[in-house]
Amino acid sequence: MQNIYNYTLDELEEFFLANGSKKFHALQLFLWLYDKRVKTFDEMSNLSHDMIQLLKSSFSIDRIQIVDKQEEEDVCKYLFELYDGEHVEAVLMKHDYGKSVCVSSQVGCNMGCRFCESGRRKKVRNLETYEMVLQILMIEELLGERISHVVVMGIGEPFDNYQNLIHFFQIINHPKGLAIGARHITVSTCGLVPKILEFSDFPLQVNLAVSLHAPNNEIRNQIMPINKVYPLEEVFDALKYYFQKTNRRITFEYILLKGINDSEENAIQLSNLVKDMNCYINLIPYNETNNIDFKRTNTIQIMKFYDILKKNHINVTIRREFGGNINAACGQLRSIKEDL
């Protein structure tokens, strides 16, 4: 049985119409789910008994479970257990501009980026839409506060789970759903070209981030196997198309890995690579993990790299670090519980 949190308002309207009922019931149902936040169909007191029976026989309203929580000053990592006993993590970050949640999109990941801890476990399955929606909804409930920003940068490659991702955006963005502004939502991809092209035609103004991490194909091939399928030229062509269609600025994520991609020459190459793009670069200090040999670039070298980009008039920021002590930092999401 499909979970009720998988559905957009439009789809629920179709459901009611197909069952010989009126479409406004979909809005009533949506409000029970996302405004009043009841946990059973029986509590939906403005729906008739027959309608509640119909819902019960058509959908489940089960939730995922929060089974662990680790907190640091301005960050909190939640471990969720799914219906099949799998686990994924989400991270809450408290910024001065609001609260953001980093959500996972798959159990495991097949992209195989060499530096990434989360991806050491191969993909087991895609998350269903409701499993992404509930990461946010349940954290909001636990906090008793609204989440203002969402980044799809947890475990998984979101564009490898495209349909569910799009549904997720439609539900969390809807004014009667979680009402998170599209401009406050960001999805990050390692560069799946066909999906970047498809996403260019998606009507919501969700931000796109691309994990670049290298200034040329030679280096990128070494650290990101996906580059052999979609090399930089193809990624950049797709991004130009994206920009043509959406007029939206792209974010490039660039992890600095000691001795791999962090030389001054690399900074110059990177400047040349992106100079014609409307973009900004987010430099990410690498989070070392015990299982992987890459090392973090030291702060002096990070600043040199940054300065070269600046001198070349590239918009660049250095990412603020969250959650290093609780293994909640970028690329570290990997449930200790599973002990893999």
Per-residue tokens: 27: 């809005």
The answer to whether 330 is a known catalytic residue is yes
Q: Give the total of residues touching ligand SAH (CB under 6 A).
A: 19
- Say whether residue 211 binds ligand SAH (CB under 6 A): yes
Q: How far apart are CA 68 and CA 327, in angstroms?
A: 13
Per-residue tokens: 193: 């070209």
Query: What CA–CA distances, in Å, run from 67 to 85, 88, 93, 130?
Result: 11, 10, 19, 17
- Say whether residue 3 binds ligand SAH (CB under 6 A): no
Segment contacting ligand SAH by CB under 6 A, of 27-35, 178-186, 195-203, 280-288 = 280-288
Residue from 286, 305, 306, 322 in contact with ligand SAH (CB under 6 A): 286
| Complex with ligand SAH: residue 177 or 191, whichever CB lies closer | 191
- Say whether residue 262 binds ligand SAH (CB under 6 A): no
Q: How far apart are CA 266 and CA 269, in angstroms?
A: 5
- Say whether residue 189 binds ligand SAH (CB under 6 A): yes
73-111 CB burial, b ≥16 within 10 A, e <16: eebbbbbbbbeeebbbbbbbbeeeeebbbbbbbbbbbeb
Q: How far apart are CA 72 and CA 76, in angstroms?
A: 6
Residue from 135, 238, 331, 334 in contact with ligand SAH (CB under 6 A): 331
| Complex with ligand SAH: residue 25 or 334, whichever CB lies closer | 334
CB atoms within 10 A of CB 215: 22
| Per-residue interface string for the shown chain with ligand SAH, residues 141-170, x marking contact by CB under 6 A | ------------x---x-------------
Residues 6 or more apart whose CB falls under 8 angstroms from that of 198 comprise 162
- Say whether residue 89 binds ligand SAH (CB under 6 A): no
Give the shortest CB-35-to-ligand SAH separation in angstroms. 30
The answer to whether 89 is a known catalytic residue is yes
Give the shortest CB-113-to-ligand SAH separation in angstroms. 6
Query: What CA–CA distances, in Å, run from 297 to 45, 87, 290, 300, 302?
Result: 58, 31, 16, 8, 6
Contacts with ligand SAH by CB under 6 A lie at 111, 113, 115-117, 153, 157, 188-190, 211, 253, 255, 284, 286-287, 330-332
